[in-house]
Structure 1
């Protein structure tokens, strides 16, 4: 396992995703370590297309390093019904606060859109992350075979006014 860079040693910018990001975001989803083994089927054919990026508020975290603007993670906010649809951080960027940064940005975007709560159906291995970033467990999203053959925890972010 490689060494992890501290959050301070790399500048991270969050910007709106554009159609040209689609292939990189798809690779990030399909290559996620959280979806190996029994979870692999859930993302095997998953595609984040330019149409998806246009239809939703998708944002990417980009690292300014020696490789130029590398995509370190992204999220997608759906306004109606209010939901955090996707949130992924590249395996090699985990543990650096990128996910926390994306959640804070998402909450700011949700607040600006007039939302005061936001649903999240979590991947089972991400449950602890959502607890740590302030989401409240509200129930269970039941299995939907064949796409998702297991129950998943359901959370809610409560978005306080500024």
Structure 2
């Protein structure tokens, strides 16, 4: 996550000191995309779904495999997990460089999360995934 090109330069403060370790994974529903081909066993991406209140807390895809559909697969998996948990929507506070991605995968812009200095000194777009029942 901290090695992501999306969090270089002025965006580095947003993930500085942020750790996704055993304590985080124990407290959240975290899911991982793992490479099966030449990436054999390497983490290619992950996301975390918070059930109450419903939120996509993190979604990352490794820089070198972006554009290959892994993000879309993770979003589809998240929607399936949310549906199974009985959720009808999931909120996302987007990193600015990821805004276009969330539009492309069907999230609807619902507002703006105001800056939270010093870690996040900029406003961020808020989105919502609507989760239709099957």
TM-score by structure 2 length?
Answer: 0.97
Structure 1 position 37, deviation (Å): 1.1
Q: 1:152 aligns with which of 79, 100, 124?
A: 124
User: Is 1:82 the counterpart of 2:54 in the alignment?
Assistant: yes
Distance of 1:46 and 1:63 partners within structure 2: 24
Q: CA deviation at 1:46?
A: 1.2
Equivalent residue for 1:53?
A: 25
Q: Distance in 2 between matches of 1:120 and 1:82?
A: 9
> Given the alignment of the two structures, is residue 104 of structure 1 paired with residue 67 of structure 2, yes or no?
no
User: Partners of 1:44 and 1:141 in 2: how far apart?
Assistant: 19
Written as runs of structure 1 = structure 2, the 5 A alignment for 1:1-162 is 29-162=1-134
SS at 2:30's partner residue? strand
Deviation at 1:116, TM superposition (A): 0.4
Taking the aligned partners of 1:110 and 1:66, their CA distance within structure 2 comes to 31
| 1:31-64 CA distance string (max 9 Å, x none) | 0100111101111211112011011110000111
Q: CA deviation at 1:66?
A: 3.7
Contiguous gaps of at least 5 residues in structure 1 = 1-28
For 1:64, what is the secondary structure of its paired residue?
Answer: coil
Q: Which has the larger radius of gyration?
A: 1
CA distance in 2, matches of 1:68, 1:158: 33
Distance (Å, rounded) in 1 between the aligned partners of 2:48 and 2:112: 21
Q: So what's the TM-score if we normalise by structure 1?
A: 0.81
For structure 2, the 5+ residue unaligned runs are: none
Distance 1:150 1:67 in 2: 35
Deviating above 3 A after TM superposition, structure 1's stretches of 4 or more consecutive aligned residues are: none
How big is each residue's C-alpha offset from its partner over 1:96-143, in whole Å with a ceiling of 9 and x where there is no partner?
000000000000000000000010000000000000000000000000
